[in-house]
Chains A and B, each alone.
Chain A
Amino acid sequence: MKNTNDIYFSKEHTWIRIENKTGTVGITTFAQSELGEIVYVDLPSVGDEFNQDEVFGSVEALKTVSDLFMPLTGEVTAINEDLLDSPTLVNEKPFVEGWMVKIEIKDLEELSNLLSEAEYQKKIEK
């Protein structure tokens, strides 16, 4: 997913791809690699609302568990049900089949708190 202008990253290693007012959220390649094999993804329900940086779920990896942080304020409109049976999709294709939730974005102004891909890359290389 390189060279996209519509994808943003949070400092908590989630990404959000924006199409109009809908955002698709997942975790980054770096995050899944740090976590190792994911065995379960705990996702919210459609209709749940979250603020920016709020915990919306968690991922269970073999060695550890990690919270998922919402990159932008919004209401969940869809969850990736494929992850219930195949959580390793998050490891294999974190930006494609491994997406986690779709949200209806409340406030695009919050984008200013997020990182571009280049900024995120810089952050994780530190």
Chain B
Amino acid sequence: MTKLTPLYDFHVNQGAKMTDFAGYMMPIQYSGIQEEHMAVRQKAGLFDVSHMGEFMVEGEDALAVLQKITTNNVKSLKIGQAQYTLMTNEEGGIIDDLIIYRLDEQKYLMVVNASNIKKDWDWLIENKTLNCRTENVSEQTGLIALQGPKAIQILKRLTDSDIESLEYYHCMMGQVAGASSVLISATGYTGSGGFELYINSDQLVSVWNDIWEIGQQEGLQLAGLGCRDTLRLEMGYCLYGNDIDETTSPLEAGLGWVTKLKKTDFIGQSALIKQKEKGVVRKLIGFKMDGKRVARSGYNILDGKGKVVGEVRSGTFSPCLQTPIGLGYIPKDYEINNKRITISNGRKNFDAEIVKTPFINVNEYGN
């Protein structure tokens, strides 16, 4: 059974191209991926990402439970702060990447990928203790991402909350467009700044409509999952299921910065400490194609002699750079000594250059 978000009718009426994504009918694009992408970089874009999963974690043991199942240090989270983090299995493989919000002294919100809601929920239940109350609020929680340099001007017109003082990766409860108890979060998956708004599903459509009406005066455009992917890839952000999964470790994926090996025990810690001591064998790298052919997930990465050394995990055409970019795993040793790779689709080979991520400087596109 494919699920619909409360905004399904809106998307269809706007002529969105819809697709089944993680069990939800979601808009891939409205006017076109490149146009929507540039709107987010230069002005603002409005995304329905209500398919994302949300779990409430509360109680005396909430902190201890979260410390045990995630890699980042939850203890350092202040009330009103958000943290990007991972859940890993005993082998150090990534179960999911997520955001944890600290809403109150003993109250946290986990935001997980739609494709992993069931798996993550089961993992949480398996590892929780008696003094930790959990609730899967995914169904009743809508999520709007208002992203881009103009997002703040738009949101300011719809709330009295002091969003200007809201720092990156911080959040506050507030009223937005008449809806009470909206969690306003200065986060996003685009690199262009803006907000994510967690809203009760019942109020999602009316808030969305108000943002859409007001926002168009500032150049706001509707934005689908297609440009969400091109935007995150230009920033080098990992996508679960592509760049990270249970067979990849945080250290390989360049996510060591959210993996605090010295904090209290967490699941996967000893495996990751061992991996760190031995040194990782492979590494997730960014690359730019020489030509116009786009490297796709699953294409092989070859060394100078034509030997397969790795694989592409994400690839797209960058609307900002007007050139194809991607992410893939290659041996660490190879990366130290080489800046060139060859990518093969099985029939033809294409040359590419290893580059640092992010691929772009967002400030060159916004204002």
A residues sitting closer than 8 Å to B (CB atoms) are 36-37, 39-40, 42, 60, 62-65
Contacts and interface: CB of A to CB of B under 8 A. Distances in A.
Nearest to B317: A39
Contacts of A37: 32-34
Which 10 interchain pairs have the tightest Cβ spacing?
Answer: A40-B292, A39-B317, A60-B294, A62-B33, A62-B317, A37-B32, A37-B33, A37-B34, A60-B293, A65-B296
B256 interface: no
Nearest to B227: A62
Contacts of B138: none
Given A39-B294, A62-B316, 8 more contacts: A36-B28, A37-B33, A40-B292, A40-B294, A60-B294, A60-B317, A65-B293, A65-B296
Contacts of A36: 17, 28-29, 32-33, 226
A37 B294 CA distance: 13
Given A37-B32, A37-B33, A62 B226 contact: yes
B33 A40 contact: no
Given A36-B29, A62-B33, A63-B226, A42 B316 contact: no
A37 B17 CA distance: 12
Interface residues of B, number: 16
A7 B29 CA distance: 31
A113 to B, nearest CB: 25
Contacts of A64: 296
8 contacts: A36-B29, A36-B32, A36-B33, A39-B324, A40-B292, A40-B294, A60-B294, A64-B296
Interface string B281-303: 00000000000111010000000
Contacts of B230: 62
B26 to A, nearest CB: 14
Nearest to A63: B226
B292 A60 contact: yes
Nearest to B299: A65
Contacts of B28: 36, 63
Contacts of B345: 65
Most chain B CB within a 10 A radius of its CB, from A39, A62, A64: A62
Contacts of B296: 64-65
